[in-house]
Amino acid sequence: MTTLCTTVKEKMMDVALEHIYKVNENPDIKLADVDSFDAWIKYDEDWDLNVHEANFGMGEDSPEENDSSKFEWYACAYPVRMGADGYEHIITEEGEDLFKWEKKGKVTFITDQHNEANEFPRR
């Protein structure tokens, strides 16, 4: 099982927060390389980062509602390995939850992967 070192984890969190702030500032933004509300970001050769909004940018009451003050984001890191087929594979069962960014900027860091992770949605 691959484990993230603290330095890489902190840098990945910075990348995730930058993405969140960019989308919250302009929820209608169209990004060339990733989905705004379910971004898979190639961090380095060993890790992919998934940053996703819980409702994929849709309002809870109305799909047309795009109020960024109500967004709830999650960031997760996943190891990437070369498979026997010659393609890179994202190993989702070894993913690490990084944080939950709640409405109005409250950040909850997920430190206990065994207890809180069960309540932390994975994509």
Query: How many Å apart are CA 92 and CA 73, to the nearest integer?
Result: 18
Tokens for 24?
Answer: 């919250």
pLDDT tens, position by position, 14-42: 999 999 999 988 988 999 899 999 999 99
Please check whether residue 1 lies inside any domain of the structure: no
Q: Which of 47, 56, 60, 61 is nearest to 27 (CA)?
A: 56
Question: Between β-strands 47-53 and 73-82, what pairing exists: parallel, antiparallel or unpaired?
Answer: antiparallel
User: What is the domain range of residue 15?
Assistant: 6-119
Instruction: Encode pLDDT of 68-110 as tens digits.
Output: 777 888 999 999 999 999 999 999 999 999 998 876 666 777 6
19: helix, strand or coil: helix
Strands 88-90 and 107-109 come out as unpaired
Q: Is residue 114 part of a domain?
A: yes
Q: Which residues pair with 6 in a beta bridge?
A: none
Residue type, 24: N
Prediction pTM value:
0.78
Q: How many domains does the chain have?
A: 1
**Does any domain span residue 100?**
yes
